Amino acid sequence: MLTVASIGMFVYGAYSILWAIVDLLRGARLELWAELGLMLFGLLLTLSAAFVRVRLPGGLAFAIGALLGLQALAVDVDGGVTPRMIVRGVAALALVGLAWAGGRAPRT
């Protein structure tokens, strides 16, 4: 479970970074601070995915902070709660749950 959560967090972070870069290249729909925020929190999430995988103390908290940052930007950018944001929030909650459960399982 821990591997699935780590890969999911890495993919989510990489998606956020690439989405912001593509948006900047095609003509930014968002303000520059929002694009840079997406890239920053995406980078933090990809980094924290490695910390979660090796069970570094505080790694899961680091990942939760990055996920909450991405969710906060989604609320601000979309102008409220949208179905897409709810799906992303549920996916983030599932990733955190998998990481938490995988971190508690004894190693064999």
Specify whether the CB–CB gap between 57 and 38 falls below 8 A.
no
Q: Which residue has the higher pLDDT, 76 or 34?
A: 34
In a domain, 30, yes or no: yes
pLDDT tens for 60-89 read 999 999 999 999 888 776 677 888 888 989
Report the number of distinct structural domains present in the chain.
1
In a domain, 50, yes or no: yes
In a domain, 11, yes or no: yes
In sequence order, what E strands does the chain have?
none
Range of the domain at 70: 2-103
For the chain, what is the radius of gyration of the CA atoms? 14
Residue 8: closest CA among 93, 108, 101: 93
In a domain, 108, yes or no: no
Specify burial of residue 5 (Cβ count, 10 A radius: 0-12, 13-18, 19+): buried
In a domain, 83, yes or no: yes
Alpha carbon 62 to chain centroid, angstroms:
10
Q: Note the pTM of the prediction, 2 decimals.
A: 0.88
pLDDT tens for 2-14 read 899 999 999 999 9
